[in-house]
Amino acid sequence: MFETVLFWVFGIVVVGVGTSIAADEDDARWLLIAATGVLFLVVATFVFAPRALPTGAPAVNIGAGEYQVAFVYVAGDNVNVGVERESSRLDEGLYLFLYQFSKDAFDGEIRADATKLVVIESGNFKKLQLE
């Protein structure tokens, strides 16, 4: 998030400097300066912002390990799992993350009252178990 704000502020300042030079002089270097500022704004908007500002869509990939489950909801061929875990991007404590998996990814019964999600990974293959 910090990179996004930094690039936006820097881009706006550089565009402002380029515009200021254009108002005072007939030199063409203002175009290069303003274009550099616009480039910073584009990178901040289309590269950094999508990573820093999540869309709210459920995640579909999870790493190997054991996770604390808040809820399990089965809808058609999809299994929605609310996982409580800590986040390096947020403050201390547990946060709820929504994951959506296909029923085929699970080994065994899909229990709605499960309290733990175990992800076993072997190479590129992952199997999920709800306990």
Check: CB of residue 18 under 8 Å from CB of residue 38. Answer: no
| pLDDT higher than threshold 70 for residue 51 | no
Q: Which of 83, 82, 66 has its CA nearest to residue 74? A: 82
95-124 confidence digits (pLDDT tens): 888 899 888 888 888 888 889 999 888 777
- Determine whether 74 is exposed, middle or buried from the number of CB atoms within 10 Å of its CB (0-12, 13-18, 19+): middle
What whole-number distance in Å separates Cα of residue 9 and Cα of residue 14?
9
| pLDDT higher than threshold 70 for residue 54 | no
Query: If you average pLDDT over residues 33-43, what whole number do you get?
Result: 79
pTM over 0.75: no
